[in-house]
Structure 1
């Protein structure tokens, strides 16, 4: 009995120290920081003192292969646009040939030709190639914006998942403290002879159950923290710098009923729709270029010839200008044009689908936001009632008017109500992020 009383006294001291800490401090006290190997740390960077959604997005975007290769891809597209503005369709070629009737000897007739072949544009081909290169640049820029928005969605999801698990861990630790307080009261009353030893076992079992919940919440929190670290590459993500900034909360006024028609940005301004439109324009430009490229480029040849008839004859100089015009390639050109037209039609259909999908996503996000706000109002009222009931039954239990099973049940109901309230509050903030994501908005500073 002395050993058990000493254990409960130690638990009471721990509970008192936890009560003086904030939820984040209590969380830090109750759990060790995740361990990072040296090889993983080489690919991670130090996090700023305080993090926001925007800083996380910037960190994650800097690690993306598309962001790292964007400059070179843009330079390649600019080079193609410069090439389409040149006055030749391709690089010139040099021609060099010699002819003699006595190989290996300096006697006899000789002829040497030196010239250049210049590939020429077909009618309208240069303008359409320029239009295609411009469309490729716009498509590349649109793709970068769309990928950045999609990455913002992953960052937002990871952020709010971390916030959920962080809050649930703090609530689980509070539950342990409350269970330990009940166990202390039970031990005191068992010692006084007011309760049976079985009641003490039941109270201590509730403490063990709460400690198990803490371990489970700790695992979920560390898993979400590792996922966010892997996405952003930030090394020292911790409760100290996970500042709970949001893009809207329970106090933010909800969008109006006609927000999708008036307040929200137009679908045409959405990065995903802009990307689809750029892809459609590029496919149309490719189809136009294919229509004007049904044959190979003609070649203008300019040759200078130096020749003599026999040994001792003076050399004669002449200039030859020629034009090489290939015939149409028939079925091959038809296949290329048909393929380009099919790609253009497919891009047009995808653009229409993208518009409908974005409109549906915006409507779904608005419905989710309204539902989350309604659930928060209900859980807020439920948590208030559960806390009042807990206070009533706690007082009656101390006076001996309520048995232990009832007291434990009321405590569990209060914990679950508080957990539901915290989750509902975060769900509202996450729904606001989903709303801005559906509208194509990136996190703000």
Structure 2
């Protein structure tokens, strides 16, 4: 995309800095009376056609070239921010799935330990066979969850590889929340503004170039009359002044107006999208912070509850089902807490993306 736009920019610079508004032309002509009266009349003529700049035409072409350069620069920065958004989502997707793998691995370890304990009790005659089978089922369920979590992590890493071509993940990709409060400095918004500016300068140029350029024609003529061996050499000049007409001007002006209309529509559509993105980013941040505070308290209570439940089971004061229920609640509380921690960092990255801050 950038290479193609650079080609367009170079072409506009060449046009704006050229000596003439269009290419000059040379024409040659010859006329004789061989097929006519046959009296030996000969005429040669060479014409040079030179177009003349219209008022403000060159100045407007230079403005279009400058506006195109600004648009290309804005497009380059906008593409960087767009790719940064893809990268942010990719790495935080990996972080979420990494956390799920760690949680399921820990759950499997707890379930395996509980299974071993219950099987020893069963072999010692202290527990029923149904308890041993229930513990085995819980271990198998934990293994299945771990397999699914590892598969999702593999998919997330593959998406990151397709995006970056790299296998390595950044060691640290947490971000501080940007001090910017809106998208006015976002390179994506700047690009939309630059497109409107470019379309308006092209419209101004179209207003001028809807008229044809005046042509100055220089000629050299060599003539030889009938039965005359002497040649007559002469030099002439001619001016061609075209008259304007709607048949030429109307489509050029309409195309320029369409370009401005499309640029304005694209900008306003983008404004709505950025407003929505800003609202969601700010709201998600406040919600995530509130949820994290709640999840933290729930996790603290759950850790204390599971410690008491394990002691109670070891002392024979509660059954296996009660312990497994508390362990399941603790696992959910831990997952909610750790996921909220990561989600908060992801929401900060999305907020920075919305205001246009690069990572």
Q: TM-score range by the shorter chain?
A: over 0.9
Q: Give the equivalent residue in structure 1 for 2:104.
A: 172
> Does 2:28 align with 1:96?
yes
Aligned mates of 1:198, 1:268 — CA distance in 2: 65
Deviation string, structure 1 residues 366-386 (Cα, Å, up to 9, x no partner) = 221121111111111111111
Aligned match of 2:315: 399
- Rounded to whole Å, the distance in 1 between the matches of 2:348 and 2:182 is 18
**Alignment-derived partner of residue 246 in structure 1:** 174
Match of 2:299 among 378, 383, 402: 383
TM-score by length of 2: 0.93
Name the SS of the counterpart of 1:97 in structure 2. Answer: strand
Give runs of ≥4 in structure 1 deviating > 3 Å.
Answer: 265-268, 348-357
RMSD (CA atoms): 2.3
Tell me the secondary structure at the aligned position of residue 442 of structure 1. coil
Task: Kindly state the Cα deviation for residue 204 of structure 1 after the two structures are TM-superposed.
Answer: 0.3
Moved more, 133-142 or 215-224: 133-142
8 Å CA contact 2:57–2:205 kept in 1: the answer is yes
Q: C-alpha distance in 1, partners of 2:266/2:7?
A: 28
Deviation (angstroms), 1:297: 2.1
Partner of 1:340: 256
Contact 2:15 2:61 in 1 (8 A): no
CA deviations on 1:217-243 (whole Å, 9 max, x unpaired) are: 011111111111111122x34xxx452
Matches within 5 A, 1:70-89: 70-71=2-3, 73-89=5-21
Matched, 1:313 2:229: yes
1:304 to 203, 209, 220: 220
Q: CA deviation at 1:350?
A: 4.1
The gaps in structure 2 that reach 5 residues or longer are none
Taking the aligned partners of 1:84 and 1:371, their CA distance within structure 2 comes to: 54
- Please give the alpha-carbon distance, in whole angstroms, between the structure 2 residues aligned to 1:373 and 1:398: 38
Give CA-to-partner distance per residue, 1:241-281, whole Å, 9 cap, x none: 45242114xxxxx78xxxxxxx4266432212211111111
Query: Once structures 1 and 2 are overlaid, which stretch shifts more, 271-280 or 195-204?
Result: 271-280
Residues 109-157 of structure 1 show CA distances to partners (whole Å, capped at 9, x for unaligned) of: 2221223212222222221122112212211221222222122111111
Where does the alignment leave 5 or more consecutive residues of structure 1 unmatched? 1-65, 249-253, 256-262
Of the three residues 240, 244, 256, the one matched with 1:328 is 244
Contact 1:78–1:137 (8 Å) recurs in 2: no
1:231 and 2:163 matched: yes
Deviation at 1:353, TM superposition (A): 4.9
Q: Deviations over 1:355-403 (max 9, x none)?
A: 4543443233122112111111111111111111111111111111110
User: Helix, strand or coil: the match of 2:233?
Assistant: strand
Contact persistence 1:163–1:244 (CA under 8 A): no
Q: Distance in 1 between matches of 2:13 and 2:202?
A: 14
Matching of residue 127 in structure 1 with residue 43 in structure 2: no
1:199 lines up with 2:131 in the alignment: yes
Aligned partner of 1:39 in structure 2 is none
Q: In 1, are the aligned partners of 2:26 and 2:46 still within 8 Å (CA)?
A: yes
CA distance in 2, matches of 1:303, 1:84: 28
Describe the shift of the 1:265–1:145 C-alpha distance in structure 2 as closer, same or farther (beyond 3 A).
farther
Q: 2:185: which partner in 1?
A: 269
What does the per-residue CA deviation read over 1:40-87, in whole Å, with 9 as the maximum and x for residues that have no partner? xxxxxxxxxxxxxxxxxxxxxxxxxx3xxx245324413312321323
- Return the alpha-carbon distance in structure 2 between the equivalents of residues 319 and 205 of structure 1: 106
Which range moved further: 422-431 or 87-96? 87-96
Give me the TM-score of the superposition, normalised by structure 1.
Answer: 0.75
Q: What is the CA-CA distance between 1:299 and the residue it aligns to?
A: 1.8
CA contact under 8 A between 1:175 and 1:210: conserved in structure 2? Answer: yes
Distance 1:197 1:268, change over 3 A: closer
Q: Which residue of 2 aligns with 1:143?
A: 75
Q: Residues of 2 paired with 1:184 and 1:137: CA distance?
A: 71
Tell me if structure 2 keeps the 8 A contact 1:87–1:120: no
